[in-house]
């Protein structure tokens, strides 16, 4: 029963994950798991110092835990389900040494929780490092999703001759776009480590490390359902040995309530059928305190504050608005963005073109795994606004397509010394061809028609940068200059105020020398130096004789 619910929850998590992509229907909250996570909620609300609408969903889980107990870990948590499943796969038959320092280790998760919460109070978003849902979403995004695509495509390739023979046209041409990500390996290593720890003791992560588990365990003893052992108990200690959470102490009739996740493994294994989980309202009396030393508490608070201050007071912080980092459209101002983003990777998964990539050290410790636009790799498509839709803390605001179009992420800059047209007089025009906003026009300069960027029409989508045929670095790059980062309010209005216009407008592409706005006096000055071929360049659009 429990396994079934776990499997269903993992399936739901995975399904929502798959749906988190272009054409995500507005009514479907694909990020729901991340929204109901109170640790991520507290982290974002504390760090950003304001109430975040979507984080309020976590009140559901808090309420449910208050009412029922710490059931989340055993039944709902997809990370727990993955751990249980992989545990079954790898370590089922292994004899595990067990740990002597259990009591002390058990406190680690509380210390971590305190570190994360105090770090959040200093404005550093850190819980993402160990929040199980952010962790699993990252693993899915950076490892499982690309791997799945590879496997699917390989399978398709393998079966292609068969599809062809059967005349299944669509299948024989099917190929899924292969998303690729930075930091896949490190994400996998972290998760692999979590699984490997199970070799020592089942659910090592959940028992000792998980800060979300720690948070839930603080309130779970108030819940309705509690483990009860009746007098049939013959103290065989079977339950104590099998409890995956180590929630049963030396006296098998007692229960460490904060640790109990109500998986009922003990009830099933008990030969005397002496264990039940009845509903009982019991205020106060049975609230078993978390054993927590004062010294440990102080250390963790100091640790959290220390990490917080260190990570927020670095050269990166001072350079914050001067990075060469292009953030996704709708990302709130950088300081708030770093505080609010929980690094789940959902935006990067959902990104239609695969331009969103995780940062490593580009903005320091406080910017790990935050999304950036890697425009040389892929552009941002003007018909897609899914990254904001799936952001559980709205560090990337959910915007309508029109608003998103106006959420300028930067401006394209032409590097003339590298441009094939400016530097080599080649017939290249790819940037102009691909620009969805006509922000790149060809204008006659010194007798030649040269590409020029009109900054007020460029919203930084990066089609030009990605498509530029120059090898290595692009001859046209999007820099964050001119980006619009709004915490609230309309991007359309802001763009209008700044006299920007990203609407289709053919007006500027008329190829009239007089209208070009360029003074071509240099042409006269340098006339001697110009070769005859150059001089005879007609005043005609490219391609016409």
- Interface contacts to another protein, rule CB under 8 A: 22, 157, 167, 169-170, 173, 175, 177, 352-353, 381-384, 420, 426-430, 432-438, 442, 467, 469-470, 503-506, 509-512, 540-545
Helices (H), 49-183: 58-68, 78-91, 102-121, 132-139, 145-166, 169-172
Nearer to another protein by C-beta: 283 or 544? 544
Nearer to another protein by C-beta: 306 or 436? 436
Decide if 202 contacts 87 (C-beta within 8 A).
Answer: yes
Distance separating alpha carbons of residues 36 and 27, to the nearest angstrom:
17
Least distance (Å) between residue 163 CB and another protein = 12
Least distance (Å) between residue 228 CB and another protein = 56
Distance separating alpha carbons of residues 76 and 216, to the nearest angstrom:
13
Least distance (Å) between residue 411 CB and another protein = 19
Nearer to another protein by C-beta: 262 or 353? 353
Least distance (Å) between residue 170 CB and another protein = 6
CA distances from 382 to 19, 433, 444 (A): 20, 15, 29
The two structure tokens encoding residue 274: 């002496």
Least distance (Å) between residue 358 CB and another protein = 21
Query: Left, alpha or beta for 174 (phi > 0: left; psi -120 to 50: alpha)?
Result: beta
Distance separating alpha carbons of residues 539 and 244, to the nearest angstrom:
80
Least distance (Å) between residue 161 CB and another protein = 12
Nearer to another protein by C-beta: 126 or 419? 419
Decide if 55 contacts 43 (C-beta within 8 A).
Answer: no
Name which of 474, 309, 331 is nearest 391 in CA terms: 331
Helix (H) or strand (E) holding 311: helix 294-312
Nearer to another protein by C-beta: 435 or 495? 435
Residue 421, Cβ density class (10 Å: 0-12 exposed, 13-18 middle, ≥19 buried): buried
Decide if 257 contacts 288 (C-beta within 8 A).
Answer: yes
Nearer to another protein by C-beta: 66 or 429? 429
Least distance (Å) between residue 176 CB and another protein = 10
Nearer to another protein by C-beta: 159 or 470? 470
The backbone torsions φ and ψ at residue 347, rounded to the nearest 5 degrees and listed phi first, read -65, -40
Nearer to another protein by C-beta: 281 or 427? 427
The two structure tokens encoding residue 228: 């009860």
Least distance (Å) between residue 186 CB and another protein = 28
């Amino acid at each position: 029963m429990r396994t079934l619910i776990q499997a269903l929850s993992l399936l739901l998590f995975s399904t929502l994950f798959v749906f988190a992509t272009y054409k995500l229907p507005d009514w479907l909250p694909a990020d729901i798991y991340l929204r109901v996570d109170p640790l991520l909620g507290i982290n974002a609300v504390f760090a950003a110092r304001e109430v975040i609408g979507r984080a309020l969903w976590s009140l559901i889980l808090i309420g449910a835990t208050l009412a029922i107990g710490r059931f989340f870990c055993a039944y709902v948590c997809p990370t727990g389900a993955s751990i249980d499943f992989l545990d079954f796969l790898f370590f089922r038959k292994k004899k595990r040494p067990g740990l002597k320092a259990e009591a002390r280790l058990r406190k680690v998760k509380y210390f971590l929780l305190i570190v994360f919460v105090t770090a959040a109070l200093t404005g550093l978003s850190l819980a993402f490092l160990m929040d199980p849902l952010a962790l699993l979403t990252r693993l899915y995004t950076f490892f499982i999703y690309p791997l799945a695509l590879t496997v699917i495509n390989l399978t398709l390739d393998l079966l292609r001759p068969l599809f062809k023979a059967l005349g299944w046209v669509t299948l024989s041409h099917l190929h899924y776009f292969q998303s690729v990500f930075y930091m896949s390996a490190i994400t996998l290593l972290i998760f692999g480590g979590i699984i490997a720890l199970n070799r020592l003791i089942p659910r090592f992560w959940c028992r000792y490390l998980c800060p979300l588990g720690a948070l839930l365990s603080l309130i779970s003893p108030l819940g309705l359902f509690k483990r009860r052992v009746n007098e049939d108990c013959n103290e065989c200690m079977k339950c104590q040995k099998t409890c995956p959470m180590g929630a049963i102490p030396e006296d098998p009739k007692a229960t460490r309530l904060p640790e109990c996740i109500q998986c009922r493994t003990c009830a099933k294994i008990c030969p005397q059928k002496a264990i039940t989980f009845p509903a009982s309202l019991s205020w106060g009396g049975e609230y078993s305190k978390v054993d927590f030393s004062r010294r440990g508490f102080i250390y963790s608070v100091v640790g959290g504050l220390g990490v917080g201050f260190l990570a927020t007071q670095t050269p990166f912080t001072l350079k914050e608005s001067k990075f060469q980092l292009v953030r996704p459209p709708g990302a709130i101002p950088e300081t708030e963005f770093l505080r609010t983003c929980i690094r789940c990777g959902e935006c990067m998964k959902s990104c239609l073109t695969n331009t969103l990539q995780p940062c490593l050290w580009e903005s320091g410790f406080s910017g790990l795994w935050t999304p950036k636009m890697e425009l040389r790799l892929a552009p941002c498509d003007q018909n897609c606004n899914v990254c904001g839709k799936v952001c559980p803390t709205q560090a990337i605001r959910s915007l309508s397509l029109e608003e998103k179009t106006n959420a300028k992420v930067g401006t394209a800059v032409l590097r003339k010394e590298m441009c094939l047209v400016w530097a080599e007089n080649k017939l290249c025009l790819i940037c102009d061809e691909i620009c969805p906003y006509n922000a790149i026009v060809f204008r006659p300069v010194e007798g030649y028609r040269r590409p020029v960027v009109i900054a007020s029409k460029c919203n930084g989508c990066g089609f030009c940068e990605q498509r530029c045929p120059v090898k290595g670095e692009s001859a046209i790059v999007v820099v964050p200059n001119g980006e619009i980062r709004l915490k609230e309010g309309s991007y359309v209005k802001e763009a209008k105020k700044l006299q920007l216009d990203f609407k289709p407008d053919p007006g500027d592409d008329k190829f009239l020398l007089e209208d070009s706005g360029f003074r071509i006096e240099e042409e006269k000055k340098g006339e001697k130096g110009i070769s005859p071929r150059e001089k005879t360049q007609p005043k005609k659009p490219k391609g016409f004789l």
